[in-house]
Structure formats: structure tokens, C-alpha cells
Structure 1
Amino acid sequence: MRDFNLTLNHPSRVPLAAELHSRPFMRLDGPEAITHLAVCHGGESGPPAQHSQHRLLGELCGHFGVAAPGPGSNHFYHDFGSFRLKWECHTEFATYTVTAPLAAELAVHDAFAHMPLSFLPAAWLAQLAGSVMAAAHVALVKGEADCTRLPAVFERNQLAGSSVMQGAELWTDFAIQSDGFSRFVIRDLGMRHLQGGRLVQRVLEIETYRMMALLGLPAARTVGMELDRIEAELSSLASTMVATDMAPETGAQDEQRLLEQITRLAARLEKLVLDNGYRFSASKAYFGIVKARIEELRETRIEGTPTVEEFMERRLAPAMQTCAAVSARQDALARRIADTNDLLRTRVGIVQELQNRRILESMNARAAQQLRLQLAVEGLSVAAISYYLVGLLGYAGKAAKAAGLPINPDLALGVLVPVVALGVWLAQRRVHHRIGRSRQ
């Protein structure tokens, strides 16, 4: 068989093919205790955030004398002997999943006193202050369903539970208990090989992505109050537009002032979109993952108990609808501000056109006055030039008479006056025509 030449590969072929296997689930067989932490990047993004998460993982591995993964890795798994650790780095957070076996004879309500959190160094946990977004304990146990001891596990009476994946039961209240962790009980009632790891991973992803999705709710409330203020100012501005006179004398100043106000409103709204647009988009994406993971549970109702899907639809879905509504409201308000801005610019254009029209009318009036003045000046210039020419001709006639020529100077001047005046006028007309052709 001929070997495949690896140089034929596209540069992205191998990493893209490995992407499907980059986050494998853990192999879990009950009874098992699982502690899960989702640690946010602390407001950072990009390489600096990933570097901080790799640093945390490196310190944890160094405490146990284990080599940490390379800087570019986004997944790590290692068996430390007394416990196993799975680490994943995501866009906004990293997860640490620690598992350890439970004693078979241990009751469900006692299992949460033996969680593998105790294996993690206290000094290392102290570094996570202010960045833990989700923290959960999971007890994966074997046995038949017994709901009588569940109230001792959960501090709230309202539980969500269902039969999942045709071989297990899931119980939780999705509440943070007094120890700071949410709790999940999974009963293995005959799951096939490897199903336990898949089920635990889906449950933990539901909890993690549920909390990450809810990050958009505080932003939605803050943005909603700011949108109320912007809408009130826009309404006041629109009322002012209706009452504003479009007279050329005062309209331009009023419209310019209104245009400056709506420009500031548009800038405020744009800043809101830039500050919170990603958060709303991320919440929508996280909520989509939560719904997908719930569908993968293939829940079957336990009579008298709401399913996980019903619990999320009643509690999480309204919060996500609030985020979606605020995001849609931002977009709608942006369109309204843009429409109002266009209307204002149109009104400013109309006022400017009215001003230009009045300026042109005044220019036409001045041009007409200049034309009349020019005609008057031209008439006077014809008379003046004709007067001087006739005077010169008079001197010439007198000189000719003195020389003995039979000329009557007075009669000759009387005859020449209209001829000279006509000649001067024609000469001026010819000059005007030449000037007009040179300007063209």
C-alpha cells in the first residue's frame, strides 16, 4: 500500500480534523464524585487571558510535580492518582473538572461531604477570588431511585428531575448551596459503557453555560434604563421639531441646535451597542448551547417533578428573552434616531434653500440696479465723449475757416453732433460685444 504524502495536506487539515476530538469527555463509572469550576478570564480577552489561565494551570500542576501543557493548548487531562483533572480553555472562561471515586456504601446525602475539591491547594483556590462563575458538585451513584433522602441533599424543596438517556436519573435544584456550590445527583440505573462521562459533561455544560448566559441580564437591565432616558430625550426632541418654525431667519439656528442634540443621542446609543453588543450576542449563543445540551439528555418525566427543560423554560428563558428584547430595542431605537436625523437634515436643507433663494433674489435685485446704473452711466459717457469730440471738431472747423476754406463752423458742428453721438454709441456697443466674447 502506498503511503500518503503529508505534504499534500492543506495547512489547516490536521488541526481542523483534531477539533472534533479536542474536548473529549471523561470516562466515569459510579460511584464517583465530581467538582467543577468555571473560571472567567477577569475581563481580559485574547492571548493575555489565555496566558493567565495557562499560568493558573501551570501553578496547579507544579504543586503536584506534573508537567503543564504548552501555551497554545486548550485542553488538558491528567490522572494524579488520588484524583483526575480535566481542564478546558474557552473564549471567556476556563473549566477545571476534578473527579475522585466514592465509597460504594456511602449514602447519597453523605456523598457531598467527600467531594474532590479537598485535593486542590487552598493557596491556589485563593487565586480564583472574584473570577469563579460556576461551581458545581456532582454525585454519580448507582442504585434504584429513592427520592426520600433528596431533601437532605438539597436545601430547597423545589427540585427538577427526570429520567435521562434511558438509563439514569438526574436531580438538582439549580441553587447555590451554603457551601457555595450547586449540586447534582445522577443515579446510574443501567447506563451503557461511557454514558456516565457523556451525561456528566452535558450536565456540567448546562450549569456552566446557563451562568454564562445570565451574564447578559445585568447588562440588559442597565441598558434598559439608559434606553428609557434616550427615548425620553428623543421624544422631547421630536416635539421640539414639530413646534419649531422653519422661517429662514430663526429656523437654521434652531435646526442646527436640534441636529447637535440628536448627534449626541446617536453617539450615546452607539457606545451602548459597542459596550454591550458582544455580551448580548454571547448570551444568545450560550443559551443556544444550553437548549442543545438539554435536548441531548432525552428527558422522560418523573411524575410530580418538573423536568430540567421545564425548569429552564420557566426561569432561564425569560431572562434570555429580556436580553433579546433589549438588544432588539437598541436596534429599533438606532433606526428611529437615524430617521429623525435624516428628517432634521432634510429640514436644515430646506431652510438653507430658502436662505439661498432669498440671497439670489437680493443678488438679482442688485444686479438689476447695477444694470440701470450702468445704462445711465453709458448714456452720460456717450454725451461726454460726443461733447469733447464735437469741441475738437469745432476747433478744427474754425482753423479751416481761418485758413480761407469756405466752411461755416457752426453749421458743420450742428450737422456733426448726431453723427458723432451715433458713432460713439456704436463704438461702445462693439467694445461690449468683444468683452462678452472674451468672457465666454
Structure 2
Amino acid sequence: MAQTPLPDHPMRYALANELHARPFPVLKAPCRAMYLAIKKVENAAERDRSEDLAHLEALLDRYGASRPAPNADQYSGKLGRGFLKWEMHTEFVTYTLFATEPHSEPFSPDLFNLFPRDWLADAPGRIVTSCVVNVETVEPEDREDYMNRNFPGWFVPESLTASAVTEDTAVVVGDFQIDEHGHMRFAVLAHPDITDSRLGRIVQRVLEVETYKSMAMLTLPTARKVSGTVAHLDRELAENAAGMARESNEAAEVLRRLLTMTAEIEALSSATAFRFGAFEAYEAIVMHRISALRERRIGDHQLLSEFMMRRFDPAMRTCRSSKGRLAELSGRAERAANLLRTRVDVANQEQNVEILKAMDRRAALQLRLQETVEGLSVVAISYYAVNLAAGLLAPIGYKLGLDKTHVVALLTVPVVIAVWLGVRRLKHTLTDGEDGHG
């Protein structure tokens, strides 16, 4: 606990220890290293990591070695005649066996036999890469003779890389070819005065270059597949865009196709987002590890960085291109859909305007019809009212010397006016009632 009145943040010690969780090995030349990186084929980042830990424990139990701490993500300890270093990463786990005893055959895979065949078969994943690293002590003046004598039989000349690293304290050699035993080969020719910790860092960085190179290259098949799909969708988008430029009554159908295409593009983006994000991180680690070696050319051999520039970088450019094209296609499809959606909305609004105009015309016609009906109603009601009133007032007319015809004539105008005013009053009363109710 901190010597202050304030309590520690709950993650303080865990995060501080994380910086020291994966120390470099300490090696003394001559020695050998056998390396395995194992990854699940699909959804490796979401795997059940307890399976990886259980698989490690099964190996340790066979040799009677001590088990790691619960939920550990790294372990190191003696395993048979070798020393094991195990690490768990986001998508994969690595096993590195170090052995100090010499072997008459360089790059012999005998150290690999410490991994039982049935135990390997039960691994929760597949081998991404495996390497054999042969570390020898060679005087600087003997390097050229050593390389000329041994390298033609060990490595493929066409892809051979050899460079002096870390202030000329070692030479790192490899060809990135899989040998007859199924492993990559790397040689480290160490200066007699190199420190054990520096030698361990060099070997570790070489293994990390190979591992993260392999992990980054896993994106290349995905990039090629995405590139083909994007090309197909790009042509379809161009056809739909051309259809948008023409006056057409099929805008709604084109919009439906565009929305379907946009959904397909988004699904493809979601499915490849992790892989495209991971390759960039892995590529950055590869370049950083090579930079940390601080290479210097030896003779006419190509540098490790030159090999990566010629062989690795084009693959990464393909991945970046596919990722960029997919993002660009997604943006263009979204813009096209928005434009067409706007066009459909405008067309719908124009249709609504026409509908409103037609409704206005129908309302005006209904009003005129209503006024005509009102006039006819006034005439009809007035007719019956005049006849009724004339019948009632006829006796009075007789006394005044007026016949029925004169009585009707006198009653017609006031009755018509009265009926007309009554109809209008009734109409206003009904209209005001509807407005007040609304």
C-alpha cells in the first residue's frame, strides 16, 4: 500500500507489473531455440483462453514441471532437457524451448520432440509458424569463412538475408523458407564478448519478426477476397449511379437496390474490421523490431529490412489498398443512397402537391355543388311554405277582396327571404359547431 493517506488505484500494481510481464530470455552461446506459434483458425481473439492454459498445463504435467499461476498469460521454467517460455497473446500463444547442449547437426529438429505428438494434436489451434534458431559463437574475422562454408547448405541463396546487428555484436541470418522438417531457420552468429541479456534480446526480436510477419500475412487472403467483392460491388454501384442520372420512374427500386448494397458493404466491413485493424498493428511491430536490431550490411547480402521491403511490404500494400477501397466504396454507396433518397422524397412531395391541388379542386366543386343544392333547397322549401301560408291566409284575403293568386304573390318574396336567411343561419351554426369541436 502506498505510504500516503490516499488509497491506491485498483489497477495500479497490475498495470505496473504488465511492463515486466514478458522479460527477454537470457542466453549464452552456443545454444538452440525451438519456437511454435499456435492460433485458432477462426475468431481467435474471442477464443476461450482457458483452453490455452489447460493445454500448457497438460504439457507441464507430463514432465512433472510446476504449473503457472491461475489466469496467467506467461510462464517460464525448465522442461525436460530444455527451458520453456510460454506467452499468451491476443490471437495466439507461443512456445519457445531453449537448449544449451550442442548438437552435431545444425538446425536439427530433435528439440521439437519435447512436444509430444499427441499433445500437439490436441492443441486448441493450428501452427502459424515454427522456427529453429541456431546460435553459435564466431569471431568477427572468422564470419566470412563460416558463412561461405555453411550457408549454402543451410539456406536458400535467393532469399538469404544476413546483417550485423546491435553494434556488430551478432550476425542474424535467415531465408524465410520452410525446411524439410516444416520449420523456418535462423542463425545467430554471436560475438564472443556479447552479453547474455543482449543475445537473448536479439533472438527474441528475430522470433517476433517472424511471428508478427506471419500474423500480418494472414490478412492477405482476406484482402484479395475483399478486393474481388469490392470490384463487383463497384460495378453494380456504377450501374445504379448511371440509372440515377436518367429520368426514370424506377427510383424507388433503384433505392432499394442501393440500400441492399449498402447493407452488404457494411456487413463486409464489419466482418473484416478486426483483421484489417490487426494487420496494421502486426506490420508496425515487425518494422519496429527490425529497426531495434540496428542492421549493418555484410558484404553483398541483403538486409532483413530490404527483404521485407521487397517481399513483405507489397503484401501489406495490398491489404491497405483493399481496406481503403472498401471504406471508399462504403462512402460512395452511402452518398448515392442519400442522393437517391432525396430524389424520391422530392418526387413524393411533388405527388403530394398534385394530390393537394386535386383535393382543392374537388373541394371547390363540392362547394359550388353545395351552394347549388342550397339554392334549390330554398326554392323547394319556399314553394311549400308559400302554398302552406297561402292556404292558411286565403280566408283573410277573401275578406280583403284578394283572391288566392294575389295572396301567393304577396307571400312569395318575404317567404323566400325568410327561408334563405334561415338556411344560411343553420349553415353558419353547423359550421361554427364543427370548428369549435375541432
Q: State TM-score, norm by structure 2.
A: 0.92
Cα deviation code 1:89-127 (max 9, x no counterpart): 011000000000143xx67xx321265213222222233
Asked if the contact 1:234–1:337 (Cα under 8 Å) also holds between the matched residues in 2, the reply is yes
Residue 22 of structure 1 aligns with an amino acid whose one-letter code is A
Aligned partner (choices 166, 179, 193) of residue 177 of structure 1: 179
Label 1:357 to 1:240 Cα distance change in 2 as closer, same or farther (>3 A): same
CA distance in 1, matches of 2:158, 2:45: 42
**Kept in 1: contact 2:75–2:85 (CA 8 A):** yes
Amino acid paired to 2:25: M
Note the 1:66-215 alignment, pairs <5 A: 66-80=65-79, 82-103=81-102, 110-113=105-108, 116-128=111-123, 131-144=126-139, 145=143, 146-148=146-148, 149-166=150-167, 167-189=169-191, 190-215=193-218
2:231 aligned with 1:233, yes or no?
A: no
Between 343-352 and 42-51, the greater mean CA deviation after superposition: 42-51
Question: Take 1:410 and 1:129, find their aligned partners in 2: how far apart are those partners?
Answer: 117
Q: Give the residue type in structure 1 aligned to 2:65.
A: V
Check if 1:337 corresponds to 2:333. yes
Secondary structure of the 1:88 match is strand
Partner residue in 1 for 2:374: 378
Per-residue deviation, 1:438: 2.4
> CA-to-partner distance for each residue in 1:265-307, whole Å, 9 max, x for gaps?
1122122112111111100110011111111111112231111
CA distance in 2, matches of 1:211, 1:366: 75
Give the match's secondary structure for 1:288: helix
Q: CA RMSD in A?
A: 2.2
Q: 1:133-191 deviations in whole A, cap 9, x for unaligned?
A: 01111111111213212111113443111111111111111111121111111111132
Report Cα offsets for 1:190-231 as digits up to 9, x if no partner: 323410111111110110000000010000001111111111
1:114/1:408 CA distance change after superposition, 3 Å: closer
Distance 1:225 1:6 in 2: 62
Q: Partner letter of residue 198 of structure 1? A: R
Residue identity opposite 1:321 in structure 2? R
1:19 equivalent to 2:18? Answer yes
The range that moved more, 192-201 or 360-369, is: 360-369
For the residues of structure 2 that align with 1:129 and 1:432, how far apart are their CA atoms? 87
Q: How do 1:226-265 and structure 2 match up within 5 A?
A: 226-245=229-248, 251=249, 254-265=250-261
Q: Deviations over 1:396-434 (max 9, x none)?
A: 2213246x4565543343133122212221222222222
**Partner in structure 1 of residue 350 of structure 2:** 354
Question: Is contact 1:36–1:97 with CA below 8 Å preserved after alignment?
Answer: yes
2-structure distance, mates of 1:130, 1:46 = 12
Gapped runs of 5+ residues in structure 2? none
CA contact (8 A) 1:33 1:139 kept: yes
Indicate the SS of the match to 2:159.
Answer: coil
In 2, the alpha carbon distance for the partners of 1:409 and 1:207 equals: 125
Query: Contact (CA 8 Å) 1:216, 1:280: kept in 2 or not?
Result: yes
Q: Aligned partners of 1:147, 1:337: CA distance in 2, in Å?
A: 57
Alignment match, 1:419: 414
Structure 1 residues 115 and 194: CA distance shift in structure 2, 3 A: farther
Give me the whole-angstrom Cα distance separating, in 2, the residues matched to 1:21 and 1:121: 31
| Structure 1 residue 351: Cα displacement | 2.1
Residues 41 and 52 of structure 1 are in contact (CA less than 8 Å); yes or no, is this contact kept in structure 2?
no
* Deviation of 1:72 (Å): 0.9
Query: Which residue is equivalent to 2:423?
Result: 428
Aligned-pair distance for 1:43? 2.2
1:267 to 263, 286, 298: 263
CA distance in 1, matches of 2:206, 2:333: 44
The residue identity in structure 2 corresponding to 1:100 is A
Of 316-325 and 213-222, more deviation after overlay is shown by 316-325
Q: Which amino acid aligns with 1:256?
A: A
Change (3 A) 1:297 1:21: same
Q: Secondary structure at the match of 2:173?
A: strand
How many residues get paired? 427
User: What amino acid maps onto 2:22 in structure 1?
Assistant: R
Q: How far, CA to CA, are the matches of 1:6 and 1:216 in structure 2?
A: 51
| 1:319 matches 2:315 | yes
Match of 2:370, SS state, is: helix
Q: Please tell me the residue identity of whatever aligns with 1:41.
A: K
Which has the higher mean CA deviation after the structures are superposed, 134-143 or 416-425? Answer: 416-425
Identity %: 35
Cα offset, 1:243, TM superposition: 3.3
- Specify which of 379, 384, 390 is matched with residue 386 of structure 2: 390
What SS does the aligned partner of 2:42 have? coil
TM-score by length of 1: 0.91
Cα distance change, pair 3–199 in 1 and its aligned pair in 2 (3 A): same
How far did residue 327 of structure 1 move?
A: 0.6
Moved over 6 A (4+): none
Flag the 1:72–1:128 CA change in 2: closer, same or farther, 3 A. closer
375-384 vs 257-266, greater mean Cα deviation? 257-266
Are positions 1:363 and 2:359 aligned together? yes
Unpaired runs of at least 5, structure 1: 246-250
Q: Helix, strand or coil for the counterpart of 2:48?
A: helix
Letter in 1 for 2:418: G
More off after superposition, 384-393 vs 429-438: 429-438
